[in-house]
Amino acid sequence: MKKGNVAKNALIVMVVMWFFMLIMVPVFGIIQEVFKFGISNAVASLLTPHARHAFLLTVCITIAAVIINSVFGTLLAMVLVKQKFKGKLFIEGLLDLPFAVSPVVAGFMFIILFGPQGFIGNWFENQGIKIIYAVPGMIIATLFVTLPFVAREVMPVLREFGLEQEEAAYVLGASRWQTFLKVTIPSVKWGIIYGITLTVARAIGEFGAVIVVSGNIINRTQTVPLHIHQEFTDYNYGAAYSAALLLALVSFALLITLQTIYKKSEQS
């Protein structure tokens, strides 16, 4: 009994230390650096035009990714769960591709496809629309890396939800659209919200895919992670740490929300 307790406590200490070393120590490091830099300097560095532009751009791209992903992610989940068609398994397997492929590789794929030499990019260029080294390309890249989140969260909820409630709605006279809005969506809403939270977390922090397709142009195509990288390579450590801390705080707040949502969805 006593021996077991010792082993148990040792395990707990080990896990906690591991957690601290990997997560808490770096965060404290950043906080310390920011204080060294000075709070007023930090605020000033966050208010420079290119920092403000970076934050604004990140917000815009994130909003776009959330809107498009929640609509298409939900549709994708509905089709994959409810419809039977050839190649369904193939698509379901492919859905996790963005998890597996390096974001940098994904970025290069988009350059090939949407760049001026690319087939699609060329067509858009002729219409006067720039995709690569511009915001549309960055949104596409963000969409790619966040594609599975909403769909993957909604699919199990939808499977568990089953068909009976929808059939009950049909028999009570509800059309397919009414049933979708009043019965299906409310039933899978926690899945959608959970997926959106994950999408936001990934979208605000995405670096690899975005840096490749954006060209990293200050005040034009620089998101917060790219801005942090820029400041860091320019030896503006204080500014880099300040922006990094803010980004980390936003992510942290998001994770707290996620946990709350998770608890709430478990209750209902």
Q: Which one, of 222, 232, 265, 245, lies nearest residue 52 by Cα? A: 222
- At 32, which amino acid appears? Q
Among 9, 102, 117, 165, binds other proteins (CB under 8 A): 165
Q: What angle do CA 54, 124, 104 make, to 5 degrees?
A: 50
Among 34, 42, 140, 169, binds other proteins (CB under 8 A): 169
Taking the least distance from each CB to other proteins, the nearer of 54 and 183 is 183
**Are the beta carbons of 121 and 115 closer than 8 angstroms?**
yes
Taking the least distance from each CB to other proteins, the nearer of 195 and 238 is 195
Among 41, 48, 187, 257, binds other proteins (CB under 8 A): 187
Number of residues that bind other proteins (CB under 8 A): 18
Could you give the CA distance from residue 63 to residue 55 in angstroms, rounded to a whole number?
12
Distance, CA of 139 to chain centre: 12
Taking the least distance from each CB to other proteins, the nearer of 23 and 172 is 172
Taking the least distance from each CB to other proteins, the nearer of 96 and 167 is 167
Does residue number 183 form part of the binding site for other proteins (CB under 8 A)?
yes
Could you give the CA distance from residue 26 to residue 120 in angstroms, rounded to a whole number?
43
Among 72, 108, 124, 170, binds other proteins (CB under 8 A): 170
**Are the beta carbons of 229 and 195 closer than 8 angstroms?**
no
Does residue number 168 form part of the binding site for other proteins (CB under 8 A)?
yes
Convert residues 125-154 into a mask of x (bound to other proteins by CB under 8 A) and - (unbound).
------------------------------
Q: Using CB under 8 A, which of the segments 146-154, 179-187, 224-232, 241-249 binds other proteins?
A: 179-187
Compute the half-sphere exposure of residue 212: CA atoms within 13 Å on the CB side of its CA. 19
List of residues 6+ apart from 185 with CB closer than 8 A: 74, 192
Taking the least distance from each CB to other proteins, the nearer of 178 and 259 is 178
Q: Give how far Cα 55 sits from Cα of 9, 162, 165, Å.
A: 44, 41, 43
Q: Using CB under 8 A, which of the segments 28-36, 46-54, 84-92, 171-179 binds other proteins?
A: 171-179
| Minimum CB–partner distance for residue 194 and other proteins (Å) | 16
Could you give the CA distance from residue 100 to residue 103 in angstroms, rounded to a whole number?
9
Distance, CA of 211 to chain centre: 16
Residue ranges in contact with other proteins by CB under 8 A: 164-165, 167-175, 178, 182-183, 186-187, 189, 268
